[in-house]
Amino acid sequence: MKEEIIIAGFGGQGVLSMGKILAYSAIMQDLEVTWMPSYGPEMRGGTANVCVIISDKKISSPIITRYDTAIILNQQSLDKFEKSIKPGGLLIYDPSGITRAPERTDIKIYSIDAIEVAASIGNAKVYNMAVLGAYLKARPFLEMKNVVKGLEKSIPARYADVIPKNREAIEKGMEQAKLVLE
């Protein structure tokens, strides 16, 4: 298997850390990964994106321009990356950041109201984990135990007490992800 993913949104939404947790979870399942951020003169509130590749074979190019999955958290990113999803691919988006609905009809689409999930848990920082939950529901190839290990590896030891809330957000995200287009 090979899964080429882009995660895109505003800086501060946890785009890069979601990618890291996803990549670490895959390593815990003995898969190969690359995590390549777009970096530049970035600032808080500007756009941020990261490409994650997960494969059961050695990965050559970390640079990709067509995606099996796009995880989209704002309108700018939807405008930029919707057309680059491979036919038959997957789009996951948070409708609260979107003013124009996705137009593609040849892909599978899920929406996740991650702000609502984060609010119900009472911690805005777990927003990105709710989105990750939606992804794990749509692409169920990672075992939950490896995702938890990925979380533990990614979060610095001094913040270990937030791991249960992050896990809860992943599980609620899985429950509340809505299939928009099959």
Partner 1 sequence: MTEKILMKGNEAIAISAIRNGVDGYFGYPITPQSEVMETLMKEKPWETTGMVVLQAESELSSINMVYGGASCGKKVMTSSSSPGISLMCEGISYMAGAELPCVIVDVMRGGPGLGTIQPSQSDYSQSVKGGGHGDYHCIVIAPASPQDMYDYVDWGFELAFKYRNPVIILADGIIGQLMEKVELHPVKPRRTAEEILRDAPWATTGKPASRQRNIITSLSLDANTQEEFNRKLLAKYETIKENEVKFCEYHTEDAEYLFVAFGCSSRICEAATDILREEGIKAGLLRPVTLYPFPEKKIAGLAGQVKSMMSIELNLGQMVEDVRLAVNGRCPVGFYGRQGGNIYTPEEIVDEFKKFNNLK
- Interface residues with partner 1 (CB under 8 A) are 20, 23-24, 27, 32-37, 39-41, 59-65, 153-154
What is the smallest separation between the CB atom of 31 and partner 1, expressed in angstroms?
A: 9
Cα–Cα distance between 72 and 161 in angstroms, integer? 28
CB of 87 or CB of 122, closer to partner 1: 87
SS3 181: strand
Residue 88: CB atoms within 10 A of its CB come to 9
Q: Is the dihedral of CA 124, 126, 129, 134 positive or negative?
A: negative
Shortest spacing between CB 33 and partner 1, in angstroms: 7
Q: Among residues 39 and 45, whose Cβ is nearest to partner 1?
A: 39
3-state DSSP helix/strand/coil % of the chain, to nearest 5: 45, 25, 30
Q: Which lies closer to partner 1 via its Cβ, residue 48 or residue 121?
A: 48
State in angstroms the smallest separation of the CB of 123 from partner 1. Answer: 24
Cβ-based nearer residue to partner 1, 102 or 150: 150
Number of other residues whose CB lies within 10 A of the CB of residue 76:
16
* Least distance in angstroms from the C-beta of 56 to partner 1: 14
